[in-house]
Structures are given as structure tokens and as C-alpha cells.
Amino acid sequence: MKSFTYERPSTPAQAAAAVAGTPDAKFIAGGTNLLDLMKLQIETPRHLVDVNGLGLDTVEPTAEGGLRIGALVRNTDLAAHPRVRKDYGVLSRALLAGASGQLRNKATTAGNLLQRTRCPYFYDTAQACNKRRPGSGCSALDGVNRQLAVIGGSDACIATHPGDMAVAMRVLDATVETVDAAGTERRIPIAEFHRLPGDAPERDTNLKPGELITAVTLPKPVAGTHIYRKVRDRASYAYALVSVAAILGKDGTGHVAFGGVAAKPWRDAAAEADLPKGAKAVTDRVFADAKPTPENAYKLKLAERTLGAALNQARA
């Protein structure tokens, strides 16, 4: 690990100013992803701004009937929160499907959104990776890409967002709240938070340098059965090959987002009108523009069947 200086600011605006005003500075919250990447020298910040002392760790009802989740609420606490379990079950389920108990105790709401891809070529510093080293190429395109994106990728990158929580937040239409160094606050719909790679895969999100996530808000609850189905290589503690976050009625109407298929949670709200026709009608539309590789084309059928299982679960 490269050496770094360290500070603990007292307010979110101070934290944002510290990162914006220091070369190669990064925020650290739970640290479970950043420190892993620092040990491998994939991330090499010269300055860490520890945001753990900023508060931002409560879950509060909003005036609109929704919830405001502080950026530093730990994954364990969010999954176990009584309101989340009762009204946003898809979010509890997604959180509990991710990582291990030890990691969920440390990992935060904001940090989960910002976790970087688990593409093996991003992790292997001997390989070309445009996300890790812009302009170096992408070894994944013709490499072992069974786990990687089937839609939304580019000639520069086919990495996926590895998380579960963001997929649930996408189906819940969450909003990310931020503050920047000047103290200006911004609200970013979750659909616009993560970026597709295009020709700049090094940028995972639309956050500006030094912009700090302060909270994630959820609109008022959506009725229906809340389902998160995750298909993975092991029964526990593994990343999704495909996941489905869905809120479904018994008649098959509802909302659905897919994980493990793209650089962001994938949702096509127009295609949701086809949910009563069954899974295939929906996934044919959602993945109409998919460009899978020979190794990961299975994900398209898997997405259809996982959604089918969710529809069956909602009808039961």
C-alpha cells in the first residue's frame, strides 16, 4: 500500500472541501472496498478523508412518506431497520444477499453505491484495463468474461457494477443527495447516478470531484410483493451473475430492475407494461440491445428465468 496522510473533518462541507482541495484525495467510510484496492495498488490515494465522524448515520421518515437514509448507515443496520423490512423489503433482501456479516457491519450506504467493479482484469494490475488505467485497453473483451456485462458496455469496457443494494434502490426510484466543497447540495436520481462506460470507463458515477454523498432518499412505499432474487456461483458470499429486484402484484404488474448485467442497475420502465405477459416478453424488450459475449450470453436466459421465478413467487 502507498503511504497517505489522513484527516477526520467535522462537517460534510469540510470533508468535501478537503477532498476537492487535496491532490489524489479520497473519502473513506467503511473502507471495505477502498482498502482492498489500496493493498493491491489499484487505488493509490495520497490523502484519506475519514467521514465516519460526520453523523449521517440515521434513517428518518420524510415529509412525503418515504425514508431518508444517512450515507453512513451500515448495511446491517439498514437491512434490519423496521421500516425498511416492513415497507421496502426488496432493499432489505438485496442488502442481506450481499457480502458477509462482517462486511455488512462495516459497509455503508454511500460506500456500497460507490463500490468498484469486480472485473478480474480491473483487479489484475498486469492486465490492460481502461477503468484502472485509461487508454491501456480492455483485456476482458476477448478474455474470461463470463461474469461481465451483456448490455450497456462499450469497446473500452464491459465491467459490471457488482452491488446488490443499488439494484433495489433502482426499482425503488431512490435519489442520491450530495454536497460539494462550496456547500451546494444536489439530488441525483439513482437512474442517473452510475455511468455507462462509453469512452471513459474510469468514471463509475456522475459525482464531481470532492462531491460527497450525504443521504439516499426513498419515495413512499410501493405496494406489492418485494422480491430480490440473486443467482450466483455459491449459495452465500458471492457476487451476482444475474439478480432481479422486483415489486410485483398478484396480477403480474409491477416494477423490475436487473443486476449483474451492466455497469449500472438495468431497468426499462416501458418494458414493465409487459410484465403481465410473462418474463420472456419483458426480458426480450429489456435486453433487445444486448451485446453478450459467447461466454456470458447465458445471462440473457438466466435473466428471463430469474424474473420468471420472481413472477411465480409473487403469484404464490
Partner 1 sequence: MVGATAAAPQDRGAGTSQTTARTDVPVLATVTFTVNGERRTLDLDTRTSLLDAAREHLHLTGSKKGCDHGQCGACTMIVDGRRINACLTLAIMHQGAEITTIEGLGQPDQLHPMQAAFVKHDGYQCGYCTPGQICSGVAVLEEIKAGIPSHVTVDLDAAPRVTEAEIRERMSGNICRCGAYSNIVEAMTEVAGGQA
List of residues contacting partner 1 (CB under 8 A)? 1-10, 23-24, 28, 30-32, 35-36, 39, 41, 44, 46, 48, 50, 52, 76, 79-80, 85-86, 89, 92-93, 96-97, 99-103, 105-106, 132-133, 235-237
- Judged by beta carbon, residue 52 or residue 253, the one nearer partner 1 is 52
**Minimum distance from residue 296 beta carbon to partner 1 (Å):** 23
Q: How many CB atoms lie within 10 A of CB 220?
A: 11
Q: Which amino acid is at 166?
A: A
Nearer to partner 1, 37 or 311 (CB): 37
With respect to partner 1, which residue has the nearer C-beta, 235 or 270? 235
DSSP 8-state assignment for residue 205: B
In 3D space, the residue among 273, 307, 299 whose CA is nearest the CA of residue 151 turns out to be 299
CB 3, min distance to partner 1, A: 5
Least Cβ distance, residue 97 to partner 1 (angstroms): 5
Q: In the complex with partner 1, which residue's Cβ is closer, 105 or 253?
A: 105
- Find the helix or strand (DSSP H, E) in which 13 lies: helix 12-20
Taking the C-alpha atoms of residue 281 and residue 20, their distance in angstroms, rounded to an integer, is 47
Tell me whether residue 59 or residue 99 sits nearer to partner 1 (CB atom). Answer: 99
**Residues 265/194, Cβ–Cβ less than 8 Å:** yes
Question: Angle formed by the axes of helices 298-315 and 279-286, to 10°?
Answer: 140
Please, which residue, 92 or 205, has the CB nearer to partner 1?
92
Report the C-alpha gap between 192 and 169 in whole angstroms: 12
Rounded CA gap, 248 and 230, in Å? 16
Tell me how far, at minimum, the Cβ of 101 lies from partner 1, in Å. Answer: 5
Nearest-approach distance from CB 205 to partner 1, in angstroms: 19
**C-alpha span between 145 and 308 (Å, rounded):** 25
Rounded to a whole number of angstroms, the minimum distance from the CB of residue 77 to partner 1 is 9
